[in-house]
Amino acid sequence: MFKIITAVIGRDLKLAMRRQADIVSALFFFVIVVSLFPLGVGPEPDLLRKLAPGVLWVAALLATMLSLPRLFADDYRDGTLEQLALAPHPLGLVVTGKVIAHWLVSGLPLALIAPVLGIQFDLSADALIVLTIAILIGTPALSGIGAIGAALTLGLRGGGVLLSLLVLPLYIPVLIFGAGAVDATVTGLGGEGHLSLLAALTFAALGFAPWASAAALKIALE
Amino acid sequence: MIHWNSFSDFLAMGGYGFYVWGSFGVTALIMTIEPIMVSRNRKTTIARLKRQLRAESRAENRNTAE
Amino acid sequence: MKDRFNLYRFASPATFYPLAGAMIPYFAAVSVVFGLAGLYLGMLVAPTDFQQGEGYRIIFIHVPASWMSMFIYLVMAFWAAIGLAFNTRLSGMMAQALAPTGALMAFLSLWTGALWGKPMWGTWWVWDARLTSELILLFLYIGYMALTAAIDDARRADKAGGLLLLVGVVNIPIIYFSVKWWNTLHQGSSVNLTKSSMAETMLWGMLLMAMCFWMYSIAVAFMRVRTIMLERERNTDWVKTLLAGDKI
């Protein structure tokens, strides 16, 4: 079972490395969106500190969503997806591999850059640490849930916007607990509760989402 | 049995009139407009399908006549 | 062939179409009766609330709308599951027919909730668990309608929409239990299966209005599904016969 997942991860990572521009532009999008907020709301440190968790998380959501169509679209276009669906191993495992690979090139870099951006917002060291951990824990859930949306909207016109419409409501719990963890750290209450719930969400998402996505892919491939 | 002393009391709703009637008003609006829109959609769909049916049968007649 | 009454006959659009058509006037009439009774009890008879004054009367819309918004989603998810499991056509049509009504109920719940909240809590909106999850429910309805509208092939639309519904159905228990799990602004439940903390007339007014909304939703959904059936099954004999004749 793990061989299939690692094989898919290896393949997707190799393909992603050939298109590094895609990954880097999603990261730049994250940086730009986050930097727009101080320009928009003014440089007052108190306000920025309060806004920071929400802003960083929303920007992370949007940046993840930008890269979601790529999850299946390329393989769909050249027929690889059909072959993967017809292959004897469970499509759910293939999707699990793709989701992990997606996280490695989108969620993980976001988690690494976020603390740097957090400094712009004058967040304390505690908050930055919790922010990084939260984004690290939460982004796999985003990739997983996003895979369901990407599979449902495969090949449809207006795909990107429709994908956002479907996936953002499902992202809201991740946003609430992710930003909440940082908020709780800032106010001194401690973010452990939020982080635990976030971890629970990620486990649940990684457990169920690949199978829902596989079902959606089969519907799209009919 | 009736709780209100006068019709104006009823309308005023103890000062909450705006909120209460704002709620009931929008509800009444929605529950009238929705069935009307569904009914209109039905009529347009039927008209369109009838037109298509006629166009198809005319095309068929032309084909069989040749 | 044994001549037994088989309920599964009505899984065929051709059989369900006339049945639904015959039932619509009855559901509509029952809805009106329940509505008049509920409004009479709720608006004319029920006493003033001790804490909230007359503003509490919004409850006679707010609670039925909220219940219906959740219930309709569950029914849609049920039909989605049936459709995915048994590959039936009518279940997908029914889910699509219910969606707009469910979305309107969710909107109404949020709208009346805001109008209730402003005088009571001093704010039109607050990000507490129940309000947020009801808002998510509205987004889920809209997402479902957008997805099914974007897919041209009706069968694929049904199945994709169905899957989306099943993924989102986890939101319903969250809405329902949110007042128990999180101690934030929205008040706890006052109606249980065994007891309630409301005055009799208030309770009955609310229940009657809930029945009114339920019968209304069924009537409208049946109206909508009939149009969907005509559209989808337009190449079948039964539809062609109906269209050619006068009695549709």
C11, part of any domain: no
> What are the tens digits of pLDDT across the range C122-161?
888 887 788 888 999 999 999 999 999 999 999 999 999 9
C118, part of any domain: yes
pLDDT at A67 over 80: yes
**Partner residue opposite C147 with nearest CB, options A162, A176, A222:** A162
User: In terms of residues, how long is chain A?
Assistant: 222
Instruction: Find the domain containing C75 and state its range.
Output: 20-189+200-243
Q: Hey, how many other C-beta atoms are within 10 angstroms of the C-beta on B56?
A: 12
Lowest-pLDDT choice from A94-108, C36-50, C183-197: C183-197
Q: Report the C-alpha gap between C182 and A137 in whole angstroms.
A: 23
pLDDT at B11 over 70: yes
Domain count, chain A: 1
C7, part of any domain: no
Distance from CA of C33 to the nearest CA of B (A): 15
Q: Report the C-alpha gap between A24 and A132 in whole angstroms.
A: 19
**Backbone dihedral angles phi then psi of residue C49, each to the nearest 5 degrees:** -75, 140
Segment A122-149 shows an average pLDDT of: 94
- CA-nearest of A110, A162, A183 to A141 is A110
Task: Check if the beta carbon of residue A195 is closer than 8 Å to that of residue A134.
Answer: yes
C135, part of any domain: yes
Distance from CA of C220 to the nearest CA of B (A): 6
pLDDT at A218 over 60: yes
Cβ–Cβ contact C142 with A under 8 A: yes
Q: How many residue contacts between B and C have a Cβ separation below 8 Å?
A: 93
Please give the share of chain A, as a percent, with pLDDT higher than 90: 68
pLDDT at B43 over 60: yes
Task: Output the average pLDDT for chain C.
Answer: 89
Contact state of C146 with A176 under an 8 Å Cβ cutoff: no
* Residue A176 with chain C: CB contacts under 8 Å: 132
Q: C39-42: long-range contacts (C-beta < 8 A, 24 or more apart)?
A: C39/C205, C39/C209, C41/C201, C41/C204, C41/C205, C41/C208, C42/C201, C42/C202, C42/C205, C42/C206, C42/C208, C42/C209
139-178 of A, contacting C, C-beta below 8 A: 148, 152-153, 156-158, 162, 165-166, 168-170, 172, 176
Segment B52-57 shows an average pLDDT of: 89
Q: Report the C-alpha gap between A190 and A7 in whole angstroms.
A: 39
- CA-nearest of A178, A50, A173 to A111 is A178
7-46 of B, contacting C, C-beta below 8 A: 10, 13-16, 19-20, 22-24, 26-27, 30-31, 34-35, 38-39, 41-42, 45-46
C15, part of any domain: no
Q: Where are the domains of chain B?
A: 7-65
In angstroms, how far is CA C214 from the centroid of its own chain?
7
Task: Check if the beta carbon of residue C165 is closer than 8 Å to that of residue C79.
Answer: no
Contact state of C150 with A222 under an 8 Å Cβ cutoff: no
Strand-pairing partners, residue C53, are: C49
- Rounded to two decimals, the ipTM of the complex is 0.88
- Cα-based distances in Å from C138 to B38, C106, C142, C220: 20, 6, 6, 19
- CA-nearest of A106, A113, A175, A179 to A147 is A106
Contact state of A156 with C142 under an 8 Å Cβ cutoff: no
Task: Check if the beta carbon of residue C90 is closer than 8 Å to that of residue C11.
Answer: yes
**Partner residue opposite C160 with nearest CB, options A152, A158, A170:** A152
Residue C121: per-residue pLDDT: 84
Q: Which chains touch A (3 or more CB pairs under 8 A)?
A: C
Q: What is the pTM of this model?
A: 0.90
C77, part of any domain: yes
Segment A193-220 shows an average pLDDT of: 93
Instruction: Find the domain containing A27 and state its range.
Output: 2-221
Domain count, chain C: 1
